[in-house]
Structure 1
Amino acid sequence: MSYSAIATVKRELLVRYLEAWAPAALHRARRVIYAHGYADADGGAAVEAAMRVLAEQSDLVRGRELTMVATGDDLGAIAPRLAAIQAESGAGAGLAVHTISGGTDGRLPVGLKAIGAARVPVLGFLDASSSSVAPATVSALTAGKPADVLLVLPPGASSDSFRTGWPLFSQVELAVSDEPGELLVFGTTAGKSLEGFKEALWSVDEFAGVRYRDPGDPDRHLIDISLTPHPGPLRREILAFLHRVGSASVTELRTFALTETVYRAADATRVLHTLIDAGTVTREPSHGRLGGDVVITL
């Protein structure tokens, strides 16, 4: 497995999502918190990339508070590098960085409470692909309002124990072969955040054969990273969903794609057009725009 390529994909996805999340959160609230767990897992490459994104918000943090809390086993070598990026940013006192060594499970929940993470926008990134992470560590992020988490689990891991407190939950495998890949999980308390994550997911550049796999696809099809992803797995999942429920509105099927698959709502609309044209499903009414209230039946 190309671990370096997978690490690059994870890092770019974090950067793309953070670039959209940080300015939106700063416009919405006076205090914003970004939490980075296992910051020493990759030698600090991911947390430094995140720090650069936060430092670019220097114009927005004036009069506001943007805080990073980074935890890991030993951040002694990483803390000075983060401080240097902070010093060069010109963000002044509005950008605060707290590095806490001693382990993420033991330190992150305490650190979030100490800096007052309750009821302010919070985004957490926890790459536990080489570590074990406690469900309580992930759920500690739900103190935020709204709250988002990007969580990476080892190949073959289950995300079931991490769903508590996250009303919206999506996951995708990062794979380079037929073997199980690392599991990337996104949890959020806001629908717009899930849409933003999906846009970032498919806008990442393809690296060294890394592809996505939808954990809900029984055929375990590998999907190339693309702005217009291959619709095969989504087609199968929509048809399986219709087999279970009989019929569903376009809105319900778009929501199903967004929340239960790796795809976006817009991808579901694209698949529905092809299914209707092929005669695989019917629509009611039979003519006109494919609006949200149109009912789709096998």
Structure 2
Amino acid sequence: MAERVRRPDPHGSVERDVLVRYLDAWTATVLRSPRGGTYVECGDFAADAFRVFGEFADRLAEHHLAAVLVGRPSPGGAPAGLIVRTAADLGDVDVPGPMLAHLTGAWPPSLLRGKAHEVLIADEPGTGHRERLRSAGLGCAVAVDLVADDGTARALVFATADSRHLATFKNELWAADEFAGIRYRDPRDAEGTLVDISLTPQLLPLRRALLAELGRHGPATVADLQRFALLETIYRAEDAVGALTAAVAAGQVAREPEKGRLGARTVLSVVG
């Protein structure tokens, strides 16, 4: 009997894809800074990170870039110029400057003592990382459930203090492999709608969230609602315009001025 080929875990595949995509953007940013940066890996993606860093090999000699591997040895293959260290436990890690940490599960508050710290956490859904990270000072955070075809779910939580970096992360989130067998779910969506990974995603959950926000707080500008979409949903700021346009066309939302495109200063309110 032929040996059955084991299919890759779809959750891990999308997690790796999102991490690698964002790590590429993060590395380019920190290598433009005199402070450099430190990447902390607590999972099994060190080799993937090393491949990303290898794409910047011509710049590593003149910039500080370090990788700290927690609880495991180096897999080898680190590019020349990358500083590689190991730590037995996450509590032993102290990074004063810019840091991106890929974590699996719990994290100590001491990890966030430095400036320009960012984290990407993989864990079970509903573990409350987003709220704790915000309380710890990383006010720009998103949590998204990765739901496989068999209904099993894994959560990804990203947090930063910089809304621009959150926007970059979300761009990479929606650019991930759409054929991996994963759909996204916003844990704050009461209906739990599953959304296909796409650069032009289904916007109905966002539309509901924006209508609810207008219902709670009254009239708001498009710019205000775009910021809400960025900070409080799994969607990008630019997705809000499409969702709001549909809501206006459906007669759910009134606008001022009444005509023209929805600009940043257009004021919207719930009808009825």
C-alpha distance in 1 between matches for 2:49 and 2:30: 15
Tell me the SS of whatever aligns to 1:16. Answer: helix
How far has the Cα of 1:3 moved from its partner? 7.2
C-alpha distance in 2 between matches for 1:277 and 1:201: 28
Structure 1's 143 and 26: CA in aligned 2 closer, same or farther, altered over 3 A?
Answer: farther
2:84 aligned to which of 85, 97, 114: 97
1:24 matched residue in structure 2? 29
2:18 aligned to which of 13, 16, 29: 13
1:104 matched residue in structure 2? none
- More moved, 275-284 vs 263-272: 275-284
Tell me the SS of whatever aligns to 2:69. Answer: strand
2:192 matched residue in structure 1? 220
C-alpha distance in 1 between matches for 2:178 and 2:250: 31
Paired residues of 1:29 and 1:121 also in contact (CA < 8 A): no
TM-score by length of 2: 0.90
- Which residue type is aligned with residue 205 of structure 2? P
Structure 1's 185 and 3: CA in aligned 2 closer, same or farther, altered over 3 A?
Answer: farther
TM-score by length of 1: 0.82
- More moved, 192-201 vs 54-63: 54-63
1:122 aligns with 2:127: no
1:161 aligns with 2:128: no
Render the CA deviation track for 1:11-58: whole Å, top value 9, x for unaligned: 111000001110111102342111112x3xxxx3x1210121122211
1:34 aligns with 2:33: no
C-alpha distance in 2 between matches for 1:281 and 1:68: 49
2:52 matched residue in structure 1? 53
1:4 matched residue in structure 2? 9
C-alpha distance in 1 between matches for 2:191 and 2:8: 24
Paired residues of 1:23 and 1:60 also in contact (CA < 8 A): no
Give the 4+ runs in structure 1 shifted more than 6 A. Answer: none
Structure 1's 241 and 293: CA in aligned 2 closer, same or farther, altered over 3 A?
Answer: same
1:111 matched residue in structure 2? 93
Q: How many residues align?
A: 262
How far has the Cα of 1:169 moved from its partner? 1.4
How far has the Cα of 1:178 moved from its partner? 8.2
1:287 aligns with 2:269: no
Q: Percent identity?
A: 39
Structure 1's 215 and 277: CA in aligned 2 closer, same or farther, altered over 3 A?
Answer: same
- Which residue type is aligned with residue 55 of structure 1? G
C-alpha distance in 1 between matches for 2:223 and 2:233: 15
C-alpha distance in 2 between matches for 1:167 and 1:15: 23
Tell me the SS of whatever aligns to 2:32. Answer: helix
C-alpha distance in 1 between matches for 2:62 and 2:149: 48
Equivalent positions of 1:120-199 (< 5 A) are 120-128=97-105, 133-134=106-107, 137=108, 139-159=109-129, 160-163=131-134, 164-176=136-148, 179=151, 181-199=153-171
How far has the Cα of 1:140 moved from its partner? 3.2
Q: Which runs of 5 or more structure 2 residues have no equivalent in the other structure?
A: 1-6
RMSD: 1.9
C-alpha distance in 1 between matches for 2:111 and 2:51: 22
How far has the Cα of 1:244 moved from its partner? 0.8
Equivalent positions of 1:197-276 (< 5 A) are 197-276=169-248
Tell me the SS of whatever aligns to 1:23. Answer: helix
C-alpha distance in 1 between matches for 2:162 and 2:112: 11
Q: Which runs of 5 or more structure 1 residues have no equivalent in the other structure?
A: 102-106
How far has the Cα of 1:229 moved from its partner? 0.6
Larger proportion of helix: 1
